[in-house]
Amino acid sequence: MKKTSTRLADGRELIYYDQRDDSVRDAVDRRPLDPTVTTSEVRRDPLLGDSIAVASHRQGRIYHPPADECPLCPSQGDRLSEIPDSSYDAVVFENRFPSLAGDSGRCEVVCFTSDHNASFADLTEEQARLVLDAWTDRTSELSHLPSVEQVFCFENRGAEIGVTLGHPHGQIYAYPFTTPRTALMLRSVAAHKEATGGENLFDAVLERELADGRVVLEGEHWVAFVPYAAHWPYEVHLYPRRRVPDLLALDEEARTEFPQVYLELLRRFDRIFGEGEPPTPYISAWHQAPFGALEEFEGVNRDDFALHLELFTVRRTSGKLKFLAGSESGMNVFINDVPPEFAAQRLREVASS
């Protein structure tokens, strides 16, 4: 992998990730852009104890442009985009309309391929490995920023999820705090560790899922399963068999196998609802240990956390979505219409030939 860092016309950082070491990336951003102005502010809720970001400048972000005006495609002639070069393998750049900025963290966009009509599932194993390496590199770089405590790599796919740009891409949020979901996991890990005399909760969960029959697919280094208490109609968790706290700690064997397992998982997601259905909308989310202090989670350190990916869809059946209504939105109690055992069986049935 070759990494080339440059700057866009408004000062934002852009990084090319290339498979070939002899790639040259010297194109200049020719757009007449003013410096970016953000209003991002993090506010803490005193009752719930969590934090929210207020970012009013995001109201002006680009919304469903036509394909020939996509800002994530390479620049061609006089059609200038966020990527100055006329081609790329994978690229990461600072979001022009970030939810988090400055002392409140950082937001980046990850373009998986220059092919506007592709999806992550269409990538080759070599392309998917390059994206994994980019996620890992960005996790490392962002973790060293003084305002960053946790790095979150994710992909929103599909209009039903709220995606405003159709080009295959994901995002990276670098938070200035430990996110509420991660904090809940760490508290559960701490309580389990104390109650069992040192057993790791993530290890116990993986062992249970391997025994209970909700495994979707297995590799030598990765396991994908539908969790016992899945929140979403079709939800799969992907774990490395060897527990590690973050992407940085994956060994070469796990990195090599990841594209095979993950691409197969995404392709099965697109087959859940049968032939002729539109692509399955999904969220794919990497969970990594925070880089900040963990004193509030007594007895827990970073190595107690298990890196894993959670993949889920808001579609519950053909043509119908799972909405977060009163119980989910008002009380954070999910109602799942699809039994996890059925979901696991369905994802096994649609295995590619």
Query: What is the per-residue pLDDT across 227-263, written as a single tens digit (0 to 9) for each?
Result: 999 999 999 999 999 999 999 999 999 999 999 999 9
H or E segment to which residue 136 belongs = helix 125-143
CA distance 239 to 254: 10
Q: What percent of the chain has pLDDT over 90?
A: 90
Q: What percent of the chain has pLDDT over 70?
A: 99
In the predicted structure, residue 353 carries a pLDDT above the cut 60 = no
Q: Answer yes or no: are the C-beta atoms of 63 and 164 closer than 8 Å.
A: yes
Q: What digits encode the pLDDT tens for the residues 305-334?
A: 999 999 999 999 999 999 999 999 999 999
- Rounded to an integer, the average pLDDT of 111-121 is 97
Mean pLDDT, all residues of the chain: 95
Q: Answer yes or no: are the C-beta atoms of 174 and 148 closer than 8 Å.
A: yes
**266 three-class SS:** helix
In the predicted structure, residue 58 carries a pLDDT above the cut 90 = no
CA distance 343 to 233: 7
In the predicted structure, residue 151 carries a pLDDT above the cut 70 = yes
Q: What digits encode the pLDDT tens for the residues 282-304?
A: 999 999 999 988 988 999 999 99
* 169 is annotated as an active-site residue: yes
In the predicted structure, residue 64 carries a pLDDT above the cut 70 = yes
- Rounded to an integer, the average pLDDT of 40-47 is 94
Residues 28-61 as b or e (16 or more Cβ within 10 Å = b): ebeeeeeebebebebeeeeeeeebebebebbeee
Q: What digits encode the pLDDT tens for the residues 156-197?
A: 999 999 999 999 999 999 999 999 999 999 999 999 999 999
Residue 230 half-sphere exposure, CB side, CA atoms within 13 Å? 27
Q: Which of 64, 116, 167, 169 is catalytic?
A: 169
- Rounded to an integer, the average pLDDT of 63-78 is 91
Q: Answer yes or no: are the C-beta atoms of 265 and 311 closer than 8 Å.
A: yes
> How sure is the predictor about 84, in pLDDT bands with cuts at 50, 70 and 90?
very high
User: What's the confidence (pLDDT) of residue 311?
Assistant: 98
Q: Answer yes or no: are the C-beta atoms of 308 and 239 closer than 8 Å.
A: yes
In the predicted structure, residue 352 carries a pLDDT above the cut 80 = no
**Residue for token digits 């159709």?**
166
In the predicted structure, residue 111 carries a pLDDT above the cut 60 = yes
Q: Answer yes or no: are the C-beta atoms of 284 and 163 closer than 8 Å.
A: no
User: What's the confidence (pLDDT) of residue 277?
Assistant: 84
Whole-prediction pTM = 0.96
